[in-house]
Chain A
Amino acid sequence: MSELIGSIIVLAGAVFLFAAGLGVLRMPDSYNRIQTGTKASTLGTILVLLGLCLFHPEWTGKLLLLVLFVLMTNPVSSHALARASHARHVPRTEKTVVDRLEEIEGPGDGA
């Protein structure tokens, strides 16, 4: 029974990981791609790890540690990507309504 519940949780995680991958393909610019890539893959990974806890209860401590590491490192890598993109003036989608950071730091040449 616990294996069935574990499988369902792992499957739900896989659906979120798929959403993350699809988001990277479908979103219009790099910032929005980073957004979908970070969030959906974080919960996807966490659900897969939690599902594994039900398969191997003796791994629970280690798996929860992994959840903690994913939660701490995943947003940091997205900050780094987003900040580097903005510093390099990676073009935004034309749907963008406001960019307060560029108003302060000055526009780039769009290169």
Chain B
Amino acid sequence: MALNLWVTLIAVWLIANASLDTQVVVTGLVLATLISLALSRFSNAYADIRVTPQVLIHSGLYLLVFAQELVRANLHVARLVFSPRIDIHPGIVEIKTRLRSRTGRMVLANSITLTPGTLVVDIDGDSLFVHWIDVEAEDLEGATRAIAERFERHLSVIYG
């Protein structure tokens, strides 16, 4: 069902317009209905989103972990860039995810890209190929633990 998409679209529309005029609300309702009906035939990405108290708690925890990692990633990049000699040991490693849903994997890949020294290059099934600016572990288990573990703990509850 496209209900999740519909709710998201309405929320975005109302925030972007910052008004509750009848005209604005009616236009938003019509547009959101048309768009979610049209898109629900092509994609079920939004159907993976469930809303339960547990999911909300872990979404909050996940946001905290993510914000912290984002700041660390930027300090790491700034330190690298402003240092007189760039001393890096880059490489592409493989990691395995235990997330089943495609939306969950997408969120995981995006999170990995935005966090310190890692960039997802390719996804093949449950394998993610990650470019790592300073390779700490070349083996599958070590790399998975270092890169994906802290996100997966929360994402596996949110998306299953």
Please give the residue numbers on chain A whose beta carbons come within 8 Å of chain B beta carbons, in ascending order.
15-16, 19-20, 22-23, 26-29, 31-32, 34-36, 38-40, 42-44, 58, 61-62, 64-65, 71-72, 74-76, 78-79, 82-83, 86, 92-93, 95-102, 104
The secondary structure that dominates the B interface is mixed
Query: Which residues on the B side are within 8 Å of A101 (C-beta)?
Result: 92, 94, 121-122, 129
Q: A26-B81, A36-B80 are in contact. Are A74 and B114 (CB under 8 A)?
A: yes
Number of B interface residues in the complex (CB < 8 A): 39
Query: Which residues on the A side are within 8 Å of B120 (C-beta)?
Result: 75, 79, 82
Q: Contacting B89 at CB < 8 Å: which of A62, A83, A95? A: A95
Cα(A28)–Cα(B89), bound, Å: 11
Query: Which residues on the A side are within 8 Å of B116 (C-beta)?
Result: 39
* B15 vs chain A, min Cβ distance (A): 4
Q: Tell me whether B88 and A61 are in contact (CB under 8 A).
A: no
Q: Tell me whether B80 and A82 are in contact (CB under 8 A).
A: no
* B60 vs chain A, min Cβ distance (A): 16
In the complex, identify which listed stretch (B29-37, B41-49, B69-77) lies at the interface while the others stay far away: B69-77
Determine if B5 is an interface residue (Cβ-Cβ < 8 Å).
no
Q: Tell me whether A32 and B121 are in contact (CB under 8 A).
A: no
Determine if B51 is an interface residue (Cβ-Cβ < 8 Å).
no
Cα(A95)–Cα(B131), bound, Å: 13
Query: Which residues on the B side are within 8 Å of A29 (C-beta)?
Result: 90
Q: Contacting A38 at CB < 8 Å: which of B91, B92, B119, B138? A: B119
Q: Contacting B74 at CB < 8 Å: which of A16, A32, A95, A104? A: A16
Q: Tell me whether A65 and B77 are in contact (CB under 8 A).
A: no
B121-159 near A? 1/0 per residue, CB < 8 Å: 110000001010101001000000000000000000000
Q: Tell me whether B80 and A23 are in contact (CB under 8 A).
A: yes
Q: A65-B16, A100-B92, A101-B92 are in contact. Are A79 and B113 (CB under 8 A)?
A: yes
Q: A23-B77, A98-B93, A101-B129 are in contact. Are A35 and B117 (CB under 8 A)?
A: yes
* A69 vs chain B, min Cβ distance (A): 9
B90-124 interface with A by 8 A CB criterion: 90-94, 109-111, 113-122
A-B contact pairs, 28 of them (CB 8 A): A15-B78, A19-B82, A26-B86, A27-B81, A34-B131, A39-B116, A42-B114, A44-B74, A61-B16, A62-B18, A71-B110, A74-B114, A75-B111, A78-B113, A78-B119, A79-B109, A79-B113, A79-B121, A82-B120, A83-B122, A86-B122, A96-B90, A96-B91, A96-B92, A97-B90, A97-B91, A100-B93, A101-B122
